[in-house]
Structure 1
């Protein structure tokens, strides 16, 4: 069976920290599987997360790359209410950067676009 899942590749063995942040941001989420690199200092070889029902793969690259995350690829999250939107903006944006501050841009009730401290881009939307 064909499957399509987002894949987040981290550098500098920070995937475990990112997983911790994402599990805190999305209650009820979990680590489905996780396998460390043979050398534990290299972090996670591959883990699968269930984030609010979406399966996401994460990995720490065993080698350095000249590229990293870009906002042109992002995780788009629809939320149920304004409180949840504000909570996610605060948690995911902490230590990262704001690409579009929380506001009404005319295409939904409210929207924000942030990069988390690991460089992953999140579009947070209240439809």
Structure 2
């Protein structure tokens, strides 16, 4: 069976820090497995070759690219978090937006009582929505 899994490619060895941040910040998240580059490379020893994490129950893969790319994450792709309570939405918006960029402030836009969009300090975009 074919299966699609979101895949996050980090540059400059940021994958581990990003995954640790997501697991500590988003409820229902955990690191499932991590494979690391060894001394033979081709990436820097100890950097993330392939990781699988669950972010709010969603399986996501991650990797530390050992090549410099002229592209990075774009806000047109994001993780959408459905929150049960206003305090959870506000906490996630503040934590994920810290050191990043607010794309849409947490507010009532007509389709949701509270919705916000941020790009975190690693460049990954998040939409936070109060159900």
TM interval, shorter chain, is over 0.9
1:66 is aligned to: 70
Aligned-partner Cα distance in 1 for 2:111–2:54: 28
The TM-score, its normalising length taken from structure 1, stands at 0.95
The TM-score, its normalising length taken from structure 2, stands at 0.92
- Structure 2 stretches lacking a partner, 5+ long: none
Aligned-partner Cα distance in 1 for 2:87–2:24: 16
Q: CA RMSD in A?
A: 1.2
Deviations 1:68-99 (A, max 9, x none): 00001111111101000001011110100000
Greater Cα shift, 102-111 or 35-44? 35-44
Aligned-partner Cα distance in 1 for 2:124–2:93: 13
Aligned-partner Cα distance in 2 for 1:20–1:88: 15
- Structure 1 stretches lacking a partner, 5+ long: none
Deviations 1:36-66 (A, max 9, x none): 1124556101100011110000110011101
2:102 to 75, 98, 107: 98
Moved over 6 A (4+): none
1:11 is aligned to: 11
Please say if residues 95 and 117 of structure 1, whose CA atoms lie closer than 8 Å, have aligned partners that are also in contact.
yes
